[in-house]
Amino acid sequence: MAKLVKWLLVVLALVLVAIASASVGNSIGREQGRALMFTDMRRRHGFAQAVFAHRDLKAGEVLTKDDLATRDYFTDGLEERLILEDEWRSLIGRKMRVDLKRGSVLLKTDVQ
């Protein structure tokens, strides 16, 4: 009888773990969906994650990942000239054409 009770407790614990993990998975999925929806809304209203100078940059400097940061930016029709968040890796190893102050947005014409 004691073995049966232990076995039932183990089965019950496994069922509860399965239910808990399913609910966590669903809430994570909902959060990711909300994040994607929020990103889409920002872009439709003229905001995007743009690349900024994390520190003062001088013309001729070779860019590293520590030189760059991203944040929301009101694009206001500049989307073709801005370097967006998904393009930042292409900047690593490229040289700056102009001096840029910390916090300034990087434009495609600012790098070689």
Say what the pLDDT of residue 5 is. Answer: 75
Residue 6: how many other CB atoms lie within 10 Å = 10
Say what the pLDDT of residue 28 is. Answer: 46
**Backbone phi, psi, residue 95, to 5°:** -100, 145
Burial 13-35 (b: 16+ CB within 10 A, else e): eeeeeeeeeeeeeeeeeeeeeee
Mean pLDDT by 10 residues, the chain (112 residues): 73 65 49 56 67 91 89 73 81 92 88 89
Residues 6+ away with beta carbon under 8 Å from 107: 78, 81, 82, 83
- Report domain extents, the chain: 1-45, 46-110
Bridge partner list, 100: 57
Say what the pLDDT of residue 27 is. Answer: 44
Q: What residue ranges in 1-112 does DSSP mark as E strands?
A: 47-53, 68-74
Say what the pLDDT of residue 73 is. Answer: 77
According to CATH, what is the number of the domain 46-110?
3.90.1210.10
